[in-house]
Amino acid sequence: MNKISLAGCVITDGNKILLIRRIKTGWYELPGGKIENVETAEETAIREIKEELCVDIKIVKKIGQKDFVEKGYTMSYSWFSASILNNQKPTIGEPERFDEIKYIVFEKLKEIKLSPNMENLVKELESGNVSV
């Protein structure tokens, strides 16, 4: 099975996490994306946040990694805790792909449609394997 490496960021505000909604699927997901050949996971996370949310971030730390299968591919996703720099406000940078940016209370995550990666992150948070 082919493997795709991805990286993204957990950006929080108190008890809320910043997610974006993908138009094609209607699910909420972490901002992030595919690691290009010459990039580290951290560089990918920074680039993807800039592309998707139009803000600069600082990676705080790597908080975990989990594999999942989607459309015949094994996706290996690295999660980073990050903070937005200089009080910048996230805006949609790829309106053809995403239609909403929203801080969602952690306790409400099970009530909305989540990407497979976000479902994994929620499980890891609940089990205590990951903390933000």
118 has a pLDDT exceeding 90: yes
pTM: 0.92
Tokens of 130: 């990951």
Mean pLDDT, residues 40-51: 96
pLDDT above 70 covers a percentage of the chain that reads 99
pLDDT attached to residue 1 = 61
**Which H/E stretch holds residue 31?**
none
Query: Where are the chain's structural domains?
Result: 2-127
85 has a pLDDT exceeding 80: yes
73 has a pLDDT exceeding 90: no
DSSP letter at 109? G
Residue carrying structure tokens 């309106």: 95
Rg (the chain; Cα; Å): 14
Domain 2-127 in this protein, CATH class: alpha beta
